[in-house]
C-alpha cells in the first residue's frame, strides 16, 4: 500500500517519476521507492501470407537499426485492441479480422513504467500504403516466424517488447 | 547521434533521466528526447527435474502477487553470466552446469531503460537453502514449462522480462 508519494520529475506526457513510501504486505515500510509512470502501448505480431510483417528502422533506445514490429502508444481513452488495429494499419497498411490477445505485461517489475498489450493478427492483408509517421525512415518486409524466432538470439530484434511478442506468438502458434 | 544532453533527474543508482538532442540518420534534429539510464539485469529460466523454478512474491511494479523467475541487477563490473549464476543460487539455492544465452534486449525501444540479459539453465539442482534477500516474502515452486507458457496469457506472470524469458525458453526448448 502506498502511504505517501512525492513527484520527482514531470516530463508529461512521456514520463512521471515518483518516490513512494510503500507499506509491504508483511508490515514493513519502504521509503522513497521509485515509480515510473509511462504511457501504455501495443505491439502487434501480424501474420500475412508472405510472413510476419516486420519493420526495419533506427531506434534511439538501442541507438541502432534493428527489426521491430508495428507498435505504438495508446491515445487518450483508446482501448488496447483499437490501438493495435490503428498501429497495424498506420505503420504497415495492413488489416486483419482475426485478432487474439497474447497478453498484457507491466514493463518494470519493481517500478511500473507502463503496460504493454500484445496482439496476434492472423490473416493480415494489405489495404493501404503505410504512413508510419515515425521519426525514422522505416522499411517494411515479411519474415517467416521461425526465422524471426531464430533472429531473437542473434540480437536482430534488439528491443524487449518486440522480442517478447515474437516469442509469445511462436509459443501461441505452435 | 547525440549532439547535447541535459540531466533532468539523478536518482542514483537506480535511475538517471536525460533530455537528449538527437541528430537522426536522415539529418533532422530532435530536441530533448528522453533517455532513461537504469541498471542492467538478468533473468534466469532454470529447468530442474521437477520443472521450471518459479518464485511467487509481491512485486511493486504491478502492485500484486505474481509468478516470477530468479532475476536481479548486475553488480558493479559483474558479467551477465556471473550475475545469472549468483541470482539463481541466492534466490533459489540451485546451480546448473548447462547455461545458454537466450538473448539480450534493451527494455525501452525509444528511451533505453537498461538491458536485460536472459539465460536458460538446464539440469538445475538444489545445493543450498534460498536466501533471496528481497523486500518481499518469496515462495519457490516448480512448474512444467508448458503450464508456465499457458499462464502467460492469463496474466499470472505479470512482468514483461519474466514473461519474455518464459516464451523465449519455450521457443528455444521446443
Q: Are residues A10 and A80 in the same domain?
A: no
Alpha carbon of A88 to those of A99, A138, B40, B56, B57: distances in Å?
Answer: 12, 14, 31, 35, 36
Q: Are residues A114 and A34 in the same domain?
A: no
More confident residue, B85 or B57: B85
Of A28, A112, A168, the CB nearest to B152: A168
For an interface test with B, the pick among A65, A162, A163 (most B C-beta atoms closer than 10 Å) comes out as: A163
Q: What is the model's pLDDT at position B169?
A: 94
The alpha-carbon gap from B22 to the nearest alpha carbon of chain A, in Å, equals 9
CATH number of the structural domain spanning residue B158? 3.90.79.10
What residues of chain B lie within 8 A of the CB of A135, using their CB? 24, 28, 30
pTM greater than 0.80: yes
Q: What is the model's pLDDT at position A51?
A: 96
Distance between CA atoms of residues B157 and A158, nearest Å: 22
Q: Are residues B58 and B139 in the same domain?
A: yes
User: Is residue A173 helix, strand or coil?
Assistant: helix
Q: Are residues A102 and A168 in the same domain?
A: yes
Range of the domain at B121: 41-173
Q: How many residues does chain A have?
A: 174
- Mean predicted lDDT score pLDDT of chain B: 92
A78-106 residue pLDDT tens: 999 999 999 999 999 999 999 999 999 99
Q: How many residues does chain B have?
A: 174
User: Is residue A80 helix, strand or coil?
Assistant: helix
How many domains in chain B?
2
Q: Are residues B148 and B98 in the same domain?
A: yes
Q: What angle do CA A36, B140, B92 make, to 5 degrees?
A: 85
CB contact under 8 A, B108 and A61: yes
What residues of chain A lie within 8 A of the CB of B20, using their CB? 60
Q: Are residues B72 and B147 in the same domain?
A: yes
Sign of the four-CA dihedral B137, A1, A161, A60: negative
Q: Is the pLDDT of residue A25 over 60?
A: yes
Q: Which residues contact A82 (CB under 8 A, 6 or more apart)?
A: none
Q: Are residues B57 and B29 in the same domain?
A: no
DSSP line for chain B = -EEEEEEEEEETTTEEEEEEEEE-TTS-EEEEEEEEEE--EEEEEEEETTEEEEEEEEETTTTEEEEE-SEEEPPTT--HHHHHHHHHHHHH-EE-SEEEEEEEEEEETTTEEEEEEEEEEEEEEE-S------SS-EEEEEE-HHHHHHHHHTTSS-BHHHHHHHHHHHHHH-
CB contact under 8 A, B61 and A108: yes
Q: Are residues A65 and A148 in the same domain?
A: yes
Q: Are residues A101 and A134 in the same domain?
A: yes
Q: How many CB pairs under 8 A join A and B?
A: 182
More confident residue, A46 or B65: A46
In a 10 Å sphere around its CB, with 0-12 CB exposed, 13-18 middle and 19+ buried, how is residue A88 labelled? buried
CB contact under 8 A, A25 and B135: no
Q: Are residues B10 and B50 in the same domain?
A: no
Q: Is the pLDDT of residue B18 over 70?
A: yes
What residues of chain A lie within 8 A of the CB of B9, using their CB? 8-9, 17
Asked if A154 contacts A163 with a C-beta cutoff of 8 angstroms, the reply is no
- Rounded to an integer, the average pLDDT of A43-49 is 97
Looking up cell 521446443 gives B174
Q: What's the ipTM?
A: 0.92
The torsion region of residue B166 among left (phi > 0), alpha (psi -120 to 50) and beta comes to alpha
Q: Are residues B135 and B74 in the same domain?
A: yes
Q: Are residues B53 and B97 in the same domain?
A: yes
Amino acid at each position: 500500500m502506498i502511504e505517501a508519494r512525492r513527484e520527482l520529475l514531470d516530463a508529461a506526457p512521456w514520463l512521471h517519476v515518483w518516490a513512494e513510501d510503500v507499506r509491504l504486505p508483511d508490515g514493513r515500510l519502504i521509503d522513497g521507492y521509485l515509480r515510473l509512470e509511462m504511457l501504455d502501448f501495443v505491439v502487434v505480431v501480424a501474420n500475412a501470407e508472405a510472413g510476419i510483417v516486420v519493420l526495419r528502422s533506427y531506434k534511439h533506445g538501442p541507438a541502432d537499426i534493428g527489426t521491430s514490429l508495428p507498435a505504438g502508444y495508446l491515445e487518450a481513452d483508446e482501448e488496447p485492441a483499437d490501438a493495435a488495429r490503428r498501429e497495424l494499419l498506420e505503420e504497415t497498411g495492413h488489416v486483419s479480422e482475426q485478432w487474439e490477445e497474447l497478453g498484457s505485461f507491466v514493463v518494470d517489475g519493481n517500478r511500473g513504467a507502463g503496460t504493454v498489450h500484445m496482439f496476434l493478427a492472423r490473416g493480415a492483408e494489405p489495404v493501404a500504403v503505410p504512413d508510419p509517421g515515425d521519426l525514422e525512415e522505416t522499411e517494411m518486409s515479411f519474415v517467416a516466424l521461425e526465422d524471426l524466432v531464430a533472429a531473437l538470439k542473434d540480437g536482430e530484434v534488439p528491443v524487449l517488447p518486440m522480442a517478447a511478442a515474437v516469442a509469445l506468438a511462436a509459443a501461441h502458434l505452435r
